[in-house]
Chains A and B, each alone.
Chain A
Amino acid sequence: AQSVTQPDIHITVSEGASLELRCNYSYGATPYLFWYVQSPGQGLQLLLKYFSGDTLVQGIKGFEAEFKRSQSSFNLRKPSVHWSDAAEYFCAVGAGQAGTALIFGKGTTLSVSS
């Protein structure tokens, strides 16, 4: 069965510093992988996705992620964090037939210090 692990429950980064959020997945075939962001009291916003092709994926708000099959990882990065990036971040893998639905990790809460 598919599963997603986000090892870091909470991360604090200084504004302007770089960010990397870790995500490891378990899946037998080539996975469909996603990163979502959720601000407090808000819904989910898709940051980026990978399903084939170039293993370095660019997303919105300056985020990128790299798919590494050998490490079963799909880490999210941003070169310079802004205070508005403080939120909860979820990694997800496509589940079911053709990735009908998603299996999410438990999330990483990002705090940004000034």
Chain B
Amino acid sequence: NAGVTQTPKFQVLKTGQSMTLQCAQDMNHEYMSWYRQDPGMGLRLIHYSVGAGITDQGEVPNGYNVSRSTTEDFPLRLLSAAPSQTSVYFCASRGLATGEEQFFGPGTRLTVL
């Protein structure tokens, strides 16, 4: 099992550009989520999904879109990148059982100029 994979590892964008951060898991997990990590702010929840076709907003959803067409994939889209979206982005997944551990991807470091 590869676990949770994220691509790309690093990305530099210009203000106004769009891009998609990819996240995939091969553990057949129903629950997936996206976080951003900024110094002094911890990790903040952007969007999450309880299964294919079902998504919901987290703490900081503005500027980001998600969709969940398959169990395996949960891409995060930046429609018009802003410097405030410079961050490290983590994707995570977990199974259905109560109290199951979240498995985190290695992260994507995004810089918006």
Which A residues form the contact surface with B (CB < 8 A)? Answer: 6, 9, 32, 34, 43-44, 46, 49, 51-52, 90, 92, 95-107
Residues 2-24 of chain B: 1 if any A CB is under 8 Å from the residue's CB, otherwise 0? Answer: 00000000000000000000000
A49, A90, A97, A98: which contacts B43 (Cβ < 8 A)? A90
The reply to whether A98 and B42 form a contact with Cβ atoms under 8 Å apart is no
**How far is it, in angstroms, between the C-alpha of A92 and the C-alpha of B42 when the chains are bound?**
10
Check: B45 CB closer than 8 A to any chain A CB. Answer: yes
* Contact (Cβ within 8 A) A43 B107: yes
Q: What is the size category of the interface that chain B forms with chain A?
A: 20 to 34
Query: Which single member of B48, B98, B105, B107 contacts A101 (CB below 8 Å)?
Result: B48
A99 proximity list for chain B (CB < 8 A): 98-99
Q: Can you name 16 A-B residue pairings with CB atoms under 8 Å? A: A9-B40, A32-B99, A44-B90, A46-B102, A52-B99, A92-B43, A96-B48, A96-B50, A96-B56, A96-B58, A98-B96, A98-B98, A100-B33, A101-B92, A101-B102, A102-B43
Instruction: Choose one: B49, B99, B101, B106; the contact of A43 (CB below 8 Å).
Output: B106
Give which listed residue, B42, B92, B94, contacts A90 with CB less than 8 A. B42
B41 contacts across to A, CB distance below 8 A: 106
Q: Which residue in B42, B48, B59 is a CB contact (below 8 Å) of A100?
A: B48
List the B side residues contacting A100 at CB < 8 Å: 31, 33, 48-50, 94
Given the complex, which residues of A lie within 8 Å of B90, measured CB to CB?
A: 43-44
Is the Cβ of A102 less than 8 Å from the Cβ of B99?
A: no
Q: A104, B99: Cβ atoms under 8 Å?
A: no
CB distance from B71 to the nearest CB of A (A): 14
Closest to B47 in A: A101
Q: Confirm or deny: B44 has a beta carbon within 8 angstroms of a beta carbon on chain A.
A: yes
